[in-house]
Amino acid sequence: MLSRTADNLYWLARYMERADCLARLLDVTQRLAQLPVAYGGSTNEWRSALLTAGCADQFKQLHGDDATEQNVINFLAFAPENPSSIRNCFEIARTNARSVRTALTIEMWETINSSWLELKRYSTKDMTREELARFLSFVKETSLRFDGAAYRTMLRNDAFWFSRVGMYVERADNTARILDVKYHVLLPDSEHIGGPLDYFQWSSILRSVSALTSFHWVYRESVKPWLVADLLILNAQMPRSLTSCYQNISRYLDDIAAYYGRQGTAQRLARSTFTRLSNSRMDDVFQTGLHEYIETFVSENNRLGATVTEQYLL
């Protein structure tokens, strides 16, 4: 297939996934910020959302240090100045989709196009909490529909594989970032690790990635930091976990390699990351420090993205 087509499919999937992640991030942030003040102390959840999304610098250029709820929501969800705002994700996804319409199924295109049309209906200024909640669930549903349309209707060939690789690279990045929220949202001095606030924060994170129920099924005990990290990093049964993402990335890159009859750097990188994840134990992760582990992972994941681009998409 055309390199440009593969590139468009890859980024289309990434942007749809990113929009979903941003919606989940806003969701979890709102939950965290809604804690009674007695719990809340002096932490700033909205600033942490910016750090997690990796766009604190761009925000600062626009709003300075004024990380209020309204500013951050506008910035992450709607701001035209933020290249990765949810609105821009949808815009870019649709532009990409238009340029590769021939590679999309009708169902995929219709999902993107109708969401793009619907997006215009949401006002940006002064959304009430209910409106925001409606908007966020619209974004998540769009992403579900797109994913479902792709899964159910696409031919299993390179077009499908490139779009899946894009989706999983993005999802791995997003899972890592959401897990890192907890690093940025500091516990106030009056609270202790394992205390009620700590517990609440961890379960909000699980909830934001729709994993709270899964957690209970897998561990059958109360929410503990290392178990949450185990679920989201190492557990291969968990479809958002880093291990699961890399299992899929490896698999689809291998499909591409087999189809084209040639392996490359991207395949080797993906396999080695997958192997390392499979061999990790939670003790080691916490020994290195969860935040540091995640930072390393995010940059490794970026390197894989760059390699895929170089190998196939130019």
Partner 1 sequence: MTVAFDEMTNADGSVRAAYTALARWLSNVPPDVLDHRRKEAEFIFRKIGITFAVYGDSDAQERLIPFDIIPRVLTGGEWSRLSKGLEQRTKALNLYIKDVYSKREILRAGIVPEDLVYQNPVFRPEMNGQKVPHDLYVHIAGIDVVRIDSETFYVLEDNARTPSGVSYMLENREIMMRLFPELFAENRVAPVENYADELLATLKSLAPTTATSDPVVVVLTPGIFNSAYYEHSFLADKLGVELVEGRDLFIKNDIVYMRTTEGPKRVDVIYRRLDDDFIDPLAFRPDSVLGVPGLMSAYHAGNVTLTNAVGTGVADDKAVYSYMPEIVRFYLGEEPILKNVPTWRCREADHLKYVLDNLHELVVKEVHGSGGYGMLIGPRADKAQIELFRAKLKQDPTNFIAQPTLALSTCPTFVEEGIAPRHVDLRPFVLTGSDRVRIVPGGLTRVALQAGSLVVNSSQGGGTKDTWVLEEN
Asked whether 164 and 252 are in contact (CB, 8 A), the reply is: yes
Residue with the two structure tokens 């958002």: 240
CB of 4 to partner 1, least distance (A): 5
Query: Tokens standing for 74?
Result: 């506008």
274 vs 29, 150, 174, 249, 300, CA distance in Å?
Answer: 30, 24, 17, 9, 11
**Cα of 2 vs its chain's centroid, Å:** 27
Give the separation between CA 253 and CA 305, rounded to whole angstroms. 12
Give the separation between CA 202 and CA 179, rounded to whole angstroms. 9
Between 11 and 46, CB nearer to partner 1? 11
CB of 313 to partner 1, least distance (A): 7
CB of 137 to partner 1, least distance (A): 21
Between 107 and 300, CB nearer to partner 1? 107
Give the separation between CA 16 and CA 89, rounded to whole angstroms. 7
Asked whether 91 and 79 are in contact (CB, 8 A), the reply is: no
CB of 153 to partner 1, least distance (A): 14
Between 114 and 296, CB nearer to partner 1? 114
Binding residues (CB under 8 A) for partner 1: these are 1-6, 95, 98-99, 101-102, 106, 109-110, 113-114, 117, 158, 162, 256, 260, 312-314
Between 146 and 162, CB nearer to partner 1? 162
CB of 161 to partner 1, least distance (A): 10
Between 169 and 229, CB nearer to partner 1? 169
